[in-house]
Amino acid sequence: MQKIMGDASTVVPNYLRGLAAAHPDLIEYDSEHRILVRRAPVAPGKVGLVSGGGSGCEPLHAGYVGLGMLDAACPGEVFSSPVPNAIMAATVRADYGGGVLYIIKNFGGEVMNFGLAAEILRRRGIRIEKVLVDDDASFPPELAARRRGLGATVLVEKIAGAAAEQGRPLDEVAALARRVVARSRTFGVALSPCTHPKTGLRTFDLPDGEYEVGVGIGGDRGHERRPLPSVGEIADVMLERVTVELGLQPGNRVLVLLSGLGSTPAIELYGLFAAVRDRLVTHGAEPVRSLVGDYITSLDSHGALLTVLHADDELLDLWDRPVHTPTLRWGA
């Protein structure tokens, strides 16, 4: 297996150790509980934000810990949910008296383990709200329960994080997070599978000249396999269900997140972004904010996730507020 790694059991802790060592001003790694915690000072009573999920989707979630975003992240093993104990340790660290918001991607294990942790900790007196992220537009509305949590997770973490930093109460922060989910849709494609570091196996086989349509994160196949078209047609495919589901109208302002899946070079990703943006503009939408790069990935898969948020003044204001994390960093 062509990977830079040692024993497979060390892949996740080595990543977390490296991430914390590269950003000592922003985050701290608690190796006992395998969680990452923000270092920036916190105002008493600030709502705490916690997220987590299977590793392999870096920089999700550990790369988003810091001022203006998550207070703690709990990464599980590769493609496996964090255990309730890790979630509970992260929650205790993120509880400053104002309650804690869980940002949970719609994967069975995450929903279950965050749910368990919430149940136990609420009995101990910590106020906890949960927001479920299910922005995956590859499933039609009648299969909404199967919609995975994808790129909107990053947007929820940023926007709810900014609201929490402003000192807004838990119910308001949670409502904002839900609004971001409701106004976001994601569609993914993959030109390659990924290789699991434990097994050394590819998660599926894909012949050259074909691609998977409707993938998520976690190395699963999409809904359909098609001949690989040119970049413009890929953009059409990615945008089709996203624009319909959001009901995008001429004049609507949008935030576009185009994430590589882990081994997509920038030269391809920005080329795809140009094609996506052209089509949005032709449709009459106004792309007012853009983020292009590896923001939510699937190990070493080659492909992309397109997330579109139907923005408004409040969401854009929160988006623009300062953020100091390993991955997103802007503002004073």
Q: What is the spatial distance between Cα 157 and Cα 154, in angstroms, rounded to a whole number?
A: 5
The one among 105, 158, 241, 302 contacting a second copy by CB under 8 A: 302
Residue 48 near residue 102 (C-beta atoms within 8 A): no
Residues 162-201 that bind a second copy (CB under 8 A): 191-192
The one among 120, 130, 202, 263 contacting a second copy by CB under 8 A: 263
Q: Are strands 329-330 and 72-78 parallel, antiparallel or unpaired?
A: unpaired
Q: Is 51 in the site for a second copy (CB under 8 A)?
A: no
The one among 199, 266, 284, 320 contacting a second copy by CB under 8 A: 266
- Segment contacting a second copy by CB under 8 A, of 58-66, 132-140, 163-171, 213-221: 58-66
Residue 117 near residue 74 (C-beta atoms within 8 A): no
- Segment contacting a second copy by CB under 8 A, of 137-145, 154-162, 204-212, 242-250: 204-212
Amino acid at 200: G
The one among 48, 100, 294, 323 contacting a second copy by CB under 8 A: 294
Q: Is 329 in the site for a second copy (CB under 8 A)?
A: yes
CA distances from 126 to 158, 202, 236, 314 (A): 23, 42, 46, 28
Residue 278 near residue 315 (C-beta atoms within 8 A): no
Q: Is 217 in the site for a second copy (CB under 8 A)?
A: no
DSSP state at residue 165: H
The one among 128, 299, 305, 308 contacting a second copy by CB under 8 A: 299
Q: What is the spatial distance between Cα 95 and Cα 319, in angstroms, rounded to a whole number?
A: 23
Q: Is 73 in the site for a second copy (CB under 8 A)?
A: no
The one among 58, 77, 129, 157 contacting a second copy by CB under 8 A: 58
Angle (CA) 301 235 210, round 5°: 50
Helix (H, G, I), strand (E, B) or coil at 31: coil
Q: Is 69 in the site for a second copy (CB under 8 A)?
A: no
The one among 130, 220, 232, 279 contacting a second copy by CB under 8 A: 232
CB of 278 to a second copy, least distance (A): 9
Contacts with a second copy, 8-47, as mask; x by CB under 8 A: --xxx-xxxxxx-xxx------------------------
Helix (H, G, I), strand (E, B) or coil at 71: coil
Q: Name which of 254 and 291 has its Cβ closer to a second copy.
A: 291
Q: Name which of 68 and 84 has its Cβ closer to a second copy.
A: 68
Handedness of CA 236, 139, 299, 225 (dihedral sign): negative
Residue 151 near residue 130 (C-beta atoms within 8 A): no
CB of 17 to a second copy, least distance (A): 5
Euclidean distance between the first and final Cα of the chain, in Å? 43
Would you tell me how many other CB atoms lie within 10 Å of the CB of residue 322?
12
The one among 264, 311, 321, 323 contacting a second copy by CB under 8 A: 264
Residue 122: both structure tokens together: 């609420």
Residues in a beta bridge with 274: none
Question: Contact residues for a second copy (CB under 8 A)?
Answer: 1-7, 10-12, 14-19, 21-23, 55-56, 58-59, 63, 191-192, 208-209, 211, 228, 230-232, 234, 262-275, 277, 287, 290-292, 294, 297, 299-300, 302, 304, 329-330, 332
